[in-house]
Amino acid sequence: GENVEQHPSTLSVQEGDSAVIKCTYSDSASNYFPWYKQELGKRPQLIIDIRSNVGEKKDQRIAVTLNKTAKHFSLHITETQPEDSAVYFCADQYDSWGKLQFGAGTQVVVTP
Amino acid sequence: KAGVTQTPRYLIKTRGQQVTLSCSPISGHRSVSWYQQTPGQGLQFLFEYFSETQRNKGNFPGRFSGRQFSNSRSEMNVSTLELGDSALYLCASSQSGGENSPLHFGNGTRLTVT
């Protein structure tokens, strides 16, 4: 994919509430959509990913949904905790060795 | 399993100098990708290597180059440094570099050009 738009750029939530981050991609042939979490001063860590033949995937408190028709995918975090505070990046990949196209990132702040 | 290791963690260079960054992938991973992270441009792809061959390249000038060794370790070189090259340089490894092979990032090298 050539372009991934990510919204919002910042997100403040109360502990225990849910957080949703949305991304839109432009290349309809994109097949792989990972999400990375980057805490301050640390490396981006893969937290969940989804492939184009799957509509939804869950892993404990996090889930990702994919709408191929609309070219949207979203990250859902339930029961947020202070340790969820970080920058989250969405990305896509299409037929391109080692190249992920990243969104601009969402700064999530969870307040106790 | 040890993660992706990047050295050094921090570098300070002056304009016009050159720099070499090193990356050791996760054991068994043969693909190594390099990314530049800046507050303004976000995460930008530089290039990818597999079996000592560059298979993919991003939109960076020729001052940015890389190579991969037979043990899959990779180096990235930036020549004639410019102030705008100040960034966090991240290396990521994966088994194949393809869509079924998630990328795992190292902690990065923070380059400051003065």
Q: A1-47, pLDDT tens digit by residue? A: 458 999 999 999 999 999 999 999 998 889 999 999 999 999 999 99
Instruction: Give the residue from chain B lying closest to A102, CA to CA.
Output: B43
- Kindly tell me if the per-residue pLDDT of A57 is higher than 90: yes
Q: Pick from A43, A46, A97: which is nearest to B90 by CB?
A: A43
* Cβ contact, residue pair A95, B42, below 8 Å: no
pLDDT in tens, A27-36: 888 999 999 9
User: Between B2 and A11, where is the model more confident?
Assistant: A11
Q: Pick from A36, A51, A97: which is nearest to B50 by CB?
A: A97
A6–B contact, CB cutoff 8 A: no
Interacting residues of B97 by C-beta distance below 8 A, sequence separation 6+: A97, A98, B30, B31, B33, B48, B50, B55, B56
* Cβ contact, residue pair B48, A104, below 8 Å: no
pLDDT in tens, A72-105: 999 999 999 999 999 999 999 977 888 899 999 9
Q: Suggest the residue from B9, B33, B38, B43 to mutate for an interface test with chain A (most A CBs closer than 10 A).
A: B43
Q: What is the pLDDT of residue A1?
A: 44
d(CA A31, CA B103): 15
Mean pLDDT of B33-45: 94
Structure tokens at B57: 């390249």
H or E segment at A109? strand A106-111
- Kindly tell me if the per-residue pLDDT of B22 is higher than 70: yes
A52–B contact, CB cutoff 8 A: no
The distance of A112 to chain B (nearest Cα, Å) reads 27
H or E segment at B24? strand B19-24
- Residues of B with Cβ-Cβ distance to A4 under 8 angstroms: none
Q: Residue B21's beta-bridge partner residues?
A: B76
Task: Report cis status (omega within 30 of 0) of the bond before A34.
Answer: no
